[in-house]
Amino acid sequence: MEHTEHSIDPVQEQQEHIQRRTVLQAAIGVGVGLSVLSTLYVGVGFIPKVVVTPEKEPVKAGDILVWAQGAKAGQEITPADLQAALKSDPPFIIAYPKNPENNVVKNQLATNTIMVMQLEPSSLSPETAKYAAQGIVAYSAICKHLGCTISQWKNNVWHCPCHGGEYDPRQGAKVVAGPVPGPVPQLPIKLEGNRIVATAGFLFKPGADV
């Protein structure tokens, strides 16, 4: 019976095996898990960091509306400009907000693109008139459908050339045609001398409604 004394108990041997296996399995599991996690962490780099520069701040109360493009780009829009625009096509002006404190034109945020237009004051709905000044209205120019700049005037309303969305700027940009899911937000403004000044940010969220 010398033999049995020296040999390891088979049950005990199996238990040791199981322990070793669990430890190894746990080690592999942790290793794989950490690798996956760190790979995912690399994936975070796919989404760029958003740095809000002064040019990218959203429009807010006190901002002055300036020409977005053309020969006068960057200059303040005056009521006389809007009157003159009525005779051109389109009869409105695309504007960006300018921060009066640092004179920075906030043109690097797409949703800061604004339509300004002089309308007949009596044609405005009461709700729209509340945020207008002497018939001058301002709205976000980014179509609620798929984000084009609504830059045309057709059928006596505001027309988006991308899929034919139409908005009536006299009635809070109510959608009158096309696949557009809702109106664009109005920008409350007032006149300060010859300047058109925002009295608040957009009434609700601008940009495509997706």
Partner 1 sequence: MYKWLDERLDLQRLNSKLFRKAFPVHHTFFLGEITLFAFVVLVLTGVFLTLNYEPSIREVTTPDGQKLPAAYASILYIDSLPFGAVIRSLHHWSAHIMIAAAFLHMIRIHLSGAYKKPRELNWLVGIGLLVLAIVTAFTGYALPFDNYAITATKIGYEIGAAAPWVGGLLVNILFAGEFSNTNTQMIPRLFSIHVLWLPLTLIALIGLHLLIMVKQKHTQPKYAERVSPGKILGVPALPSQGIMAGILFLVYVAVTTLIAGIFLAHPVQAYGPPTANTPAVKPDWYFLWIYGILQMIPSNWKFELLGATFGPQFWGGIFVPTLIILGAAAIPFIDAQPHKQRYLELPSQHPGRTSFVIGMLMFYIMATLAGYKIDLNLPNALLWVLVLFVPILTGVVAYVILRAFYGKAPQEPQVGGLQGSAADD
Residue 151 near residue 161, CB atoms below 8 Å:
yes
Task: Choose the stretch contacting ligand FES; rule: CB under 6 A; options: 40-48, 114-122, 141-149, 189-197.
Answer: 141-149
- 163 near ligand FES, judged by CB under 6 A: yes
Site string for partner 1, 146-175 (x = CB under 8 A): xxxxxxx-------xxxxx----------x
Which one among 132, 160, 196, 198 touches ligand FES, defined by CB under 6 A? 160
* Distance in Å, CB of 180 to ligand FES, minimum: 5
Q: Residue 88 carries which DSSP code? A: S
In DSSP notation, 34-81 reads HHHHHHHHHHGGGSPPP---GGGSPP-TTPEEEE-SSTTTTSBP-HHH
**Dist. CA 194–CA 83, nearest whole Å:** 13
Site string for partner 1, 96-135 (x = CB under 8 A): -----------xxxx--x----------------------
Residue 192 pairs in a beta bridge with 195
Residue 136 pairs in a beta bridge with 118, 133
Binding footprint of partner 1 on the chain (CB under 8 A): 46-48, 50, 55, 68-69, 94, 107-110, 113, 141, 145-152, 160-164, 175, 178-182, 208-210
